[in-house]
Amino acid sequence: MKRKGLAILGICIVLAGCATIPTAPSLGGRWEGAWQFSDGSYIEKFSFDLVESGRTVTGSGVDEKGIAAKVTGEVSDTSFTLTVVPEDGSDPIVFSGKIDTISIHGVWEVGGTTGPWAAEKR
């Protein structure tokens, strides 16, 4: 009887330890946010619908003018890079940043122009 009790206690300790292992937040889901020029002279809203599979991210996006885009990228722990290719033929925009549980933020870049951006999970 003592061995059974010790075995159950051991299993409980192992399971409790497993439950406390932190997991990286996921980029999968719907994100709504805005990007702007560094001087704040232009701000535009956007949304991304993303799927994360391992380190790979795919999905779609649309800006407030209704221009759709294909999104591809890579994630590593809480850092990521997304390349957004607008369907209207505009230059691709690279969004790099960090992820927490319900928000992402960072810097975008296209053709040498950069600025901040941020989005929240919906």
The more confident residue out of 88 and 22 is 88
pLDDT of residue 6: 45
Predicted model pTM: 0.80
Q: Which two tokens stand for residue 14?
A: 């192992």
**CATH 2.30.130.10 describes domain 29-121:** no
Q: What is the pLDDT of residues 14-59, one digit of tens each?
A: 444 545 555 778 999 999 999 999 998 999 999 999 999 999 999 9
Confidence class for position 101, pLDDT limits 50, 70, 90? confident
Q: Domain segments of the chain: what residues?
A: 29-121
pLDDT of residue 24: 75
